[in-house]
Amino acid sequence: VNTSGAVLGLDLGGTQIRAAAVMPDGELLDRRSAATPHGSGPGAILDACARLLVDVRDSLPADVAAGLAAIGISSMGPVDPWRGVVVDPPNVPDLRDAPLAAEVERRLGLPAFLDRDTNVAALGEHWMGAARGHDDFLYVTVSTGLGGAIFREGSLLMGPDGCAGELGHVSLMPFDGPICGCGGVGHLEAISSGSGIARSAAAAVAADPSCSPFLAARAAPAAAAGGVRGAGGIGRISGRDVADGEAAGDEICHSLMERARRAFAIACVGWVHAFDPDLIVVGGTLAERQGDRWLDPAREEVARTAFRVPAARVKIVAATLGSDVGLVGARPLVAARTTARTAAGAAG
Ligand SMILES: [Zn+2]
């Protein structure tokens, strides 16, 4: 694979599919996006992915299109990165065991490489973002879920199954904590992610509707329109609603957000001890909207309670690539995999 030209990037998320060509300098050409089809089976999603990639390829300047070498794919996890299969995504059951990379490869006639979104994001931030020049860092995304990636000595730490780096699924409240989307008790994701915060808020309002006037009001229009309490009403409360409630002075929202920031800060101390990273790069819509309000408690907790030497080294910083990160990361993903393939070929 010649990686001196452009590569095609594909970013498959639970609500949106995005595609673009990624140039050698990181520029994105001919970005396109479509809603992720739900409920129509895996074929509809694979069709949508292939159609976006074909549309991008067909609209590129001829010389760029002629030099296309490969496709890099960022997918919601969990995935089998080496077989290029989306394994069992909780929010898109249609994609269970879908051979995404092989299908895209067949339909586009280009080799395709796939990894889970957080690993691709870490590659993107390392190449063009907040982790440029750093070979030992953690990437954490705080949005609907809470995911991570571990970058060690210049490459991703994969683990034998490609599953390493799930930093959100470690328990901080093992005895009385909220249940995680994965079934675990008191996982960081259940406490500090948007979906975890929302579930705890919904439980509080269900137990006592008068506890939060703000959340009761947020839930009300949907409840009135949808009818069924719990499905259309408090079930619609989002992490964003809780953050808005805190800004509006609501007590319950404030305590849930405080708990989320505090758990994240304590998790950072554990990561500093476990990995001795240069950086913890924090992305994801929830953390990005919170900014330093989210990062400062983590910085302070690490400075106050972590071992002195790694605490003095680590910097906790915001990711810089935003929603482009899954596309930008497609290029270093292709480069890393083709290097590995060449090395394996030479060794074998
Ligand atoms: Zn979990």
Give residue-wise pLDDT tens across range 73-113: 999 989 999 999 999 888 888 999 999 999 999 999 999 99
Mean pLDDT across 61-78: 95
Separation of CA 51 and ligand 1 centre (Å): 34
Does residue 263 surpass a pLDDT of 60? yes
Torsion sign (Cα): 55, 56, 59, 62 = negative
Q: Which residue is listed with tokens 């819509």?
A: 285
| Res 223: pLDDT | 47
Q: How far is the CA of 209 from the centre of ligand 1 (A)?
A: 27
Give the pair of three-digit tokens for residue 285.
């819509």
Distances (CA, A) of 322 to 81, 128, 162: 23, 12, 24
- Rounded to an integer, what distance in angstroms lies between the CA atom of residue 284 and that of residue 288? 6
105 Cα: distance to centroid of ligand 1 (angstroms): 32
Confidence check: pLDDT of 174 > 80:
yes
Q: Give the pLDDT of residue 2.
A: 61
Residue 245 scores a pLDDT above 70: yes
| pLDDT value at 226 more than 70 | no
Residue 7 has pLDDT above 50, yes or no: yes
Rounded to the nearest angstrom, the distance between the alpha carbon of 174 and the centre of ligand 1 is 11
Residue 89: which region, alpha, beta or left (left: phi > 0; alpha: psi -120 to 50)?
A: beta
pTM score, two decimals?
Answer: 0.93
* Residue 158 pLDDT > 80: yes
Predicted pLDDT at 3: 61
The alpha carbon of 97 and the centre of ligand 1 are apart by a number of angstroms equal to 20
171 Cα: distance to centroid of ligand 1 (angstroms): 8
Rounded to the nearest angstrom, the distance between the alpha carbon of 147 and the centre of ligand 1 is 10
Q: Whole-number mean pLDDT of the chain?
A: 93
